[in-house]
């Protein structure tokens, strides 16, 4: 017998744990973001923001193979609050917390079974917030935080837009869908899914006007790219399209094997497996609920379509990485919360909603703890790099040429020599003229510069690079700090 409550059932009389639980989570997440959050790849985003703050332009003055909304956002705040990695981390953490809260809110006020709403809201929010990829990468200087918030906001507003005759919600939904893609193209698939859903599921007002409004608003966040593309179409094409289509694979020669391992990595993750299984259970339950209106079902199906579209897009990036899939997590979390409800209310007959959610959230928290340990062992944190940067400043006169990589240029606030702004461009070779246009230095050119003695100080964390460049023979002084080496005092 189906014991599940209906839309007319009373709200639970249990204490409301949503606000206090999310407050504890928010404090923990903010502390983590400002103390330990780190991955090496965020450094070229931070360096790009620093260069923009100094008046340089992405694509035209340095290589930056990304869309630019997030980096302009970071540059604006760093110009106002200081050139510290903690500034972008703080705002990225706020965006991620906003995404977590909006994910829960989508169930708290709309789920048909009222007495389950609070528990399911907390479940969906923490399935998102405790997800290891969201927790680790959401607060970084990369675009994950702003993109998560923009995607969830676009979903919530799209659902609202279908119910309202006016265009306000539609315009806002389009803007946030565009903001997600303008922050990272990994989320570009979401915008057409939302636009098609508005067209097919609209219940008030003119659907074609809404589609036009959504499309127009989605273009607004791309305005910063327009002057760059107009002034430098070849540079914009390389950074936005060509680099990703052709040259990313240079650093992962066995891309198919790598991608297969990423596609199947969910089999080794209790978090990912639980999220996926419960999401499928939720979709199955929704499809079988004859007492739910087509409109109510449709907004949950939209979660499924968004998760699928994003997963297909990021899964087809070559190479892809597990962290890319975090953009689909909020939509899977909403469906997974419904799946938990379906199992607990119909199969297990659990009388208290929070009791049903507790074991799942404990497993998620334990999985997060193990992932944080592994990530810290592999990636570390900013503190050792800050120590290295202080040492570089001690031995290198201000304005003297420095050979280093993105974290050191960012932390020492030194402008990289032309072509050294992006480590992941040195294997690209499109010919001397095109390389110069795109601000690319090849490895042989870098080696020639280093061995010519043009750099007062050289820094590297790669023993092979140190040997290949002959740094030990070029400099008299060496200091090893946290697996990296600083060389100075050039031999004459």
Report residue 90: phi and psi, to 5°.
-60, -45
d(CA 146, CA 184): 9
β pairing state of 475-481 and 402-403: unpaired
The pair of structure tokens assigned to 94 is: 């706020």
β pairing state of 475-481 and 484-490: antiparallel
Residue 405's SS3 state is: coil
* Letter string b/e over residues 375-387, b meaning 16 or more CB atoms within 10 A of that residue's CB: beeeebebebbee
Cα torsion 480, 486, 490, 491: sign = positive
Cross-strand partners of 460: 485
**DSSP-derived secondary structure for 4-48:** ---TTSPPP-S---HHHHHHHHHHHHHHHHHHT---TTHHHHHHH
Give the CA count within 13 Å in the CB-facing half-sphere of 480. 5
Contact call for residues 47 and 410 (beta carbons, < 8 A): yes
Per-residue pLDDT of the chain (492 residues; tens, 9 = 90+): 344 444 444 454 455 788 899 999 999 999 999 999 999 999 999 999 999 999 999 999 999 999 999 999 999 999 999 999 999 999 999 999 999 999 999 998 888 888 889 999 999 999 999 999 999 999 999 999 999 999 999 999 999 999 999 999 999 999 999 999 999 999 999 999 999 999 999 999 899 999 999 999 999 999 999 999 999 999 999 999 999 988 888 777 788 888 888 899 888 899 999 999 999 999 999 998 878 888 899 999 999 999 999 999 999 988 999 999 999 999 999 999 999 999 887 766 666 788 888 899 999 999 999 999 999 988 889 999 999 999 999 999 999 999 999 999 999 999 999 999 999 999 999 999 999 999 999 999 999 999 999 999 999 999 999 999 999 999 999 999 999 999 999 987
pLDDT reported for residue 96:
98
Cα torsion 445, 450, 452, 454: sign = positive
242 closest CA partner among 61, 438, 442, 43: 438
pLDDT reported for residue 8:
42
* CA angle 95–224–405, rounded 5-degree value: 70
Q: Tokens 């007959």 appear where?
A: 349
Contact call for residues 33 and 137 (beta carbons, < 8 A): no
pTM for the full predicted model: 0.93
pLDDT reported for residue 378:
86
Q: Tokens 């837009």 appear where?
A: 161
The pair of structure tokens assigned to 83 is: 């050139």
Give the CA count within 13 Å in the CB-facing half-sphere of 376. 12
pLDDT reported for residue 1:
36
pLDDT reported for residue 9:
44
* CA angle 20–26–320, rounded 5-degree value: 135
pLDDT reported for residue 233:
97
179 closest CA partner among 102, 69, 323: 69
Give the CA count within 13 Å in the CB-facing half-sphere of 488. 16
Contact call for residues 100 and 25 (beta carbons, < 8 A): yes
pLDDT reported for residue 3:
44
Give the CA count within 13 Å in the CB-facing half-sphere of 388. 28
d(CA 163, CA 165): 7
d(CA 65, CA 122): 37
């Amino acid at each position: 017998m189906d014991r599940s409550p209906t839309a007319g059932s009373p709200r639970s009389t249990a204490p409301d744990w949503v606000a206090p639980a999310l407050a504890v989570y928010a404090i923990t997440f903010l502390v983590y973001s400002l103390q330990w959050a780190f991955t090496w790849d965020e450094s070229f985003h931070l360096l790009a923001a620093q260069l923009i703050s100094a008046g340089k332009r992405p694509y035209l003055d340095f290589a930056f193979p990304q869309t630019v909304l997030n980096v302009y956002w970071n540059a604006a705040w760093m110009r106002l609050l200081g050139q510290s990695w903690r500034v972008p981390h703080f705002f990225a953490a706020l965006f991620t917390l906003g995404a977590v809260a909006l994910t829960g809110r989508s169930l708290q006020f709309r789920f048909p079974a009222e007495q389950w709403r609070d528990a399911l809201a907390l479940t969906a929010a923490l399935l998102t917030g405790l997800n290891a990829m969201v927790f680790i990468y959401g607060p970084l200087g990369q675009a994950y935080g702003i993109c998560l918030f923009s995607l969830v906001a676009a979903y919530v507003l799209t659902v609202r837009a279908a119910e309202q005759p006016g265009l306000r919600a539609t315009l806002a939904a389009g803007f946030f869908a565009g903001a997600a893609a303008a922050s990272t193209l990994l989320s570009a698939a979401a915008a057409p899914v939302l636009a098609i859903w508005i067209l097919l599921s609209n219940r008030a007002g003119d659907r074609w006007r809404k589609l036009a409004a959504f499309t127009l608003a989605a273009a607004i966040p791309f305005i910063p790219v327009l002057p760059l593309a107009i002034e430098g179409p070849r540079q914009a094409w390389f950074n936005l399209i060509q680099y990703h289509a052709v040259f990313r694979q240079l650093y992962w020669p066995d891309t198919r094997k790598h991608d297969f391992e990423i596609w199947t990595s969910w089999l080794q993750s209790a978090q990912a497996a639980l999220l996926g299984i419960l999401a499928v259970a939720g979709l199955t339950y929704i499809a079988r609920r004859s007492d739910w209106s087509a409109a109510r079902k449709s907004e949950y199906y939209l979660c499924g379509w968004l998760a699928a579209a994003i997963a297909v897009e990021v899964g087809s990036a070559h190479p892809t990485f597990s962290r890319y899939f975090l953009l689909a997590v909020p939509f899977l979390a909403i469906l997974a919360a419904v799946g938990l409800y379906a199992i607990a209310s119909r199969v297990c007959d659990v009388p208290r909603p929070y009791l049903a959610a507790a074991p799942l959230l404990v497993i998620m928290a334990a999985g997060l703890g193990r992932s944080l340990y592994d990530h810290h062992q592999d990636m570390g944190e900013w503190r050792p790099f800050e120590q290295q940067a202080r040492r570089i400043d001690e031995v290198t006169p201000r304005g003297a040429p420095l050979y280093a990589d993105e974290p050191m240029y960012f932390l020492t606030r030194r402008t990289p020599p032309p072509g050294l702004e992006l480590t992941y461009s040195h294997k690209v070779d499109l010919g001397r003229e095109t390389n110069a246009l795109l601000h690319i230095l090849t490895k042989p050119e870098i080696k020639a510069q280093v061995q010519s003695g043009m750099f007062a100080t050289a820094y590297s964390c790669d023993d092979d690079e140190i040997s290949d460049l002959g740094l030990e023979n070029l400099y008299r002084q060496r200091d090893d700090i946290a697996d990296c080496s600083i060389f100075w005092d050039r031999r004459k």
